[in-house]
C-alpha cells in the first residue's frame, strides 16, 4: 500500500477533492517503503523497516487555511479529513503571506526509479560484505545502510496534478584499527542499489584507517588543502557547500540578514562573489543525480544556474517573496551540481607540492552568519602531502573558514562525484585556515 502508482494516487486525490466545499483545496499523498541495517564492532546492532503512506488536505477560505491528515483511506475517513481541514481553516487567522494555489503545471520527467529492490536479504548481505572484510583484516567496522522507494502526489482544485516516484540508498562506514589509533571513512548514495559496492567502499575506509595510524602533530595555520567530496557535502548535517547553497535565499538577503545582503540595502545577485571557475547549478534531469520534478508547493523544478563563472546568477524566491518583488518564484531543488575538471583526488595529490588531504569534516556549525564563517574538524583520515605524494598521517585539526573565502582561493577543481544527491568535485584550496589541533582519532 505504501507506494501508489500515479493512477492510483491521482484517483484517490480526485475523490478527496470532490468532498471539498472550500474556496481552494489541495490534497497530497506521500508514501515510503524503506529498510535499514546498522552495525558496529563488526556485528549487527539494529535493523528496521518502515512502510507508510499519509494524506494531507489543505482547505482554504479566502486567506484562511487549515490542514488535516490521515493514513486510512476509506470514504468515511477521507470525508472526515476534508471536513476537519475546513473546520480548522474557518477558525484560522488570515495569512498575510497568502498566495493562491498553483494551477495546472508542466513537469519534467527525471530518470525513473531503480529496478532492483533493496530487500532485507540484500541489506544483510551488503552489511555482511563490509563486516567480513574488516573481521578478516582485524579491523573494526561500524556502518549504516538505509534505502527504499518513495512517492509524492499532489492534486488541487485549480487543476494541478503532480506525481513522482524515486528510489535512493545511502551507505556509510567507519573503519577503525583495534587499538583505536587509526580511523577511516567512506560514504556513497545511489539510485539503484545494484550499483552499491559496500565491499569496495569498506576497503577504501580500511585503507584510510590503516594509513592514519601514528598521526603526527603539525602547527595549526593556513595550508593548501585537498578537500575530498565528503569534506564538502554531507547529507545529514551542515556542510561547507550545502550551507552555502541553501543560504542563497532572496528574502533573508533582502531583509538584511544574510551574507548575500548588499550594503545599503537589497541583495548581491549578479555580483561576482567567487573564483571564476566556480559553477553551481541544479538539474532534475541529470542522469547521475536525478532530482525532484516539483517542490512542496507543486512548483516545477527546472535546470537553474545558481553560480556561473563565480557570479551569483539566482537566489531562491519563495512564491510569496517572488510575488512581492515581481519576479518568478524558484522551485527549491533537491540537490545541486558543482562542475569540475577531470582530475581524480589522486591526481590532485600528484600535483601538490605541500598540502593536506582531508577525508571528511565533522560537526560544522555557523560561527557568524554575516560572513558565513564556519567551524568544524577534520576526521577519519587526514594526511600531509609533499612532492605529489602522501607522506604521513597528521592529527586532526579544527578549522575556522568561510566557504565564500574558500571559493575565492581555488587552486584546482577535480572530477565531480555523487554525494548526498549532489555532484561534488574534490577541491584544492590555498590558505585554508586551521586554528587548533585535536587529539581525536
Partner 1 sequence: MNRRDFTALTGLAAGALWLPSFPSLAGNIIDPSQLLEPGLDVAAKKRMADVALNAAKAAGATYADIRIQRTLNQSIFTREKQVQGISNIESLGVGIRVIANGTWGFASTNNMTDAGIAKTAQHAVAIAKANSKVQKEPVKLAPQKGYGDVSWKTPIEKNAFEVPIKEKADLLLAANAAATDNGASFVNSALFQVNEQKYFASTDGSYIDQDIHRIYPTFGVTVVDRASGKFRSRQSLSSPMGMGYEYLTPKAADKMAGPTGSDVIGYKNSYDILEDATRAAKQTKQKITCKSVVPGKYDLILDPHHLGLTIHESVGHPTELDRVLGYEANFAGTSFATLEWRKKNIPYGSKNVTIVADKLQRNSLGAVGYDDEGVKTKEWTLIDQGKLIDYQKIRDQAGIVGQNASDGCCYSQSWRDVQFQRMANVSLRPSATKRSVDELVSGVEKGIYIAGNGSFSIDQQRYNSQFGGQVFYAIEKGKITEMLEDVAYQTNTLEFWGACQGSCDQSDYRFAGFFNDGKGQPSQSSAVSHGSATTRFNGVNVINTARKIG
> Is 277 an interacting residue with respect to partner 1 (CB under 8 A)?
no
Task: Please state the separation of Cα 381 from the chain's center in Å.
Answer: 22
DSSP SS3 for 308: strand
Number of helical H runs and strand E runs in the chain = 10, 19
Q: How far is it, in rounded angstroms, from Cα 111 to Cα 328?
A: 26
Smallest distance from partner 1 to CB 272, Å? 8
> Is 86 an interacting residue with respect to partner 1 (CB under 8 A)?
no
Q: Contacts with partner 1 in 280-339 (CB under 8 A)?
A: 296, 316, 318, 320-321, 332
Smallest distance from partner 1 to CB 353, Å? 27
Nearer Cβ to partner 1 (176/208): 176
Q: How far is it, in rounded angstroms, from Cα 258 to Cα 372?
A: 8
> Is 363 an interacting residue with respect to partner 1 (CB under 8 A)?
yes
Q: How far is it, in rounded angstroms, from Cα 224 to Cα 220?
A: 12
Q: Contacts with partner 1 in 235-254 (CB under 8 A)?
A: 236-238, 246-247, 249-252
Smallest distance from partner 1 to CB 368, Å? 5
Nearer Cβ to partner 1 (189/352): 189
Nearer Cβ to partner 1 (75/368): 368
Using CB under 8 A, pick the residue from 69, 224, 302, 305 that binds partner 1. 69
**CB contact set of 195 (below 8 Å; sequence gap of 6+):** none
Residue 215's nearest CA partner among 184, 185, 186 is: 184
Tell me the per-residue interface mask from 34 to 53 with partner 1, x by CB under 8 A, - otherwise. Answer: --x-x-xxxxxxxxx-x-x-
> Is 76 an interacting residue with respect to partner 1 (CB under 8 A)?
no
Cell representation of residue 410 = 581555488
Using CB under 8 A, pick the residue from 100, 180, 270, 388 that binds partner 1. 180
Strands in 269-407 per DSSP E: 280-282, 304-308, 311-312, 337-338, 354-368, 373-386, 389-393, 397-401
Q: Outline where 92-185 has alpha helix (H).
A: 120-136
Using CB under 8 A, pick the residue from 404, 410, 415, 431 that binds partner 1. 404
> Is 74 an interacting residue with respect to partner 1 (CB under 8 A)?
no
Amino acid at each position: 500500500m505504501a507506494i501508489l502508482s500515479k493512477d492510483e494516487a491521482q484517483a484517490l486525490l480526485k475523490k478527496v477533492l470532490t468532498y471539498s466545499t472550500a474556496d481552494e483545496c489541495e490534497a497530497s499523498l506521500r508514501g515510503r517503503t524503506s529498510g535499514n541495517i546498522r552495525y558496529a564492532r563488526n556485528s549487527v546492532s539494529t535493523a528496521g523497516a518502515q512502510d507508510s503512506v499519509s494524506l494531507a488536505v489543505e482547505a482554504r477560505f479566502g486567506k484562511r487555511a487549515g490542514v488535516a491528515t490521515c493514513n486510512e483511506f476509506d470514504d468515511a475517513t477521507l470525508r472526515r479529513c476534508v471536513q476537519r481541514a475546513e473546520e480548522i481553516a474557518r477558525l484560522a487567522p488570515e495569512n498575510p503571506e497568502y498566495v493562491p494555489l498553483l494551477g495546472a503545471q508542466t513537469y519534467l520527467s527525471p530518470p525513473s526509479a531503480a529496478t532492483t529492490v533493496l530487500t532485507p536479504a540484500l541489506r544483510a548481505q551488503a552489511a555482511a560484505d563490509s563486516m567480513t572484510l574488516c573481521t578478516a583484516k582485524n579491523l573494526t567496522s561500524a556502518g549504516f545502510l538505509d534505502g527504499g522507494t518513495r512517492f509524492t502526489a499532489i492534486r488541487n482544485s485549480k487543476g494541478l496534478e503532480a506525481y513522482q516516484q524515486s528510489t535512493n540508498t545511502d551507505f556509510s562506514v567507519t573503519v577503525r584499527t583495534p587499538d583505536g589509533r587509526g580511523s577511516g571513512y567512506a560514504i556513497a548514495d545511489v539510485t539503484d542499489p545494484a550499483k552499491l559496492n559496500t565491499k569496495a567502499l569498506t576497503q577504501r575506509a580500511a585503507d584510510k584507517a590503516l594509513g592514519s595510524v601514528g598521526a603526527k602533530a603539525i602547527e595549526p595555520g593556513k595550508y593548501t588543502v585537498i578537500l575530498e567530496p565528503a569534506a564538502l557535502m554531507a547529507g545529514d548535517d551542515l556542510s561547507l557547500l550545502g550551507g552555502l547553497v541553501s543560504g542563497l535565499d532572496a528574502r533573508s538577503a533582502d531583509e538584511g540578514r544574510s551574507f548575500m545582503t548588499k550594503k545599503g540595502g537589497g541583495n548581491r545577485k549578479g555580483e561576482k562573489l567567487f573564483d571564476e571557475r566556480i559553477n553551481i547549478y541544479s538539474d532534475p534531469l541529470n542522469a547521475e543525480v536525478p532530482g525532484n520534478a516539483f517542490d512542496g508547493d507543486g512548483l516545477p523544478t527546472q535546470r537553474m544556474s545558481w553560480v556561473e563563472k563565480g557570479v551569483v546568477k539566482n537566489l531562491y524566491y519563495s512564491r510569496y517573496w517572488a510575488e512581492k518583488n515581481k519576479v518568478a518564484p524558484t522551485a527549491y531543488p533537491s540537490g545541486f551540481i558543482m562542475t569540475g575538471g577531470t582530475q581524480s583526488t589522486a591526481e590532485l595529490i600528484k600535483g601538490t607540492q605541500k598540502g593536506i588531504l582531508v577525508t571528511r569534516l565533522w560537526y560544522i556549525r555557523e560561527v557568524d552568519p554575516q560572513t558565513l564563517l564556519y567551524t568544524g574538524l577534520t576526521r577519519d583520515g587526514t594526511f600531509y602531502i609533499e612532492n605529489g605524494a602522501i607522506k604521513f598521517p597528521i592529527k586532526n585539526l579544527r578549522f575556522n573558514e568561510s566557504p565564500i573565502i574558500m571559493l575565492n582561493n581555488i587552486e584546482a577543481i577535480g572530477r565531480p562525484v555523487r554525494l548526498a544527491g549532489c555532484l561534488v568535485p574534490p577541491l584544492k584550496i590555498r590558505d585554508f585556515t586551521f586554528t587548533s589541533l585535536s587529539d581525536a582519532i
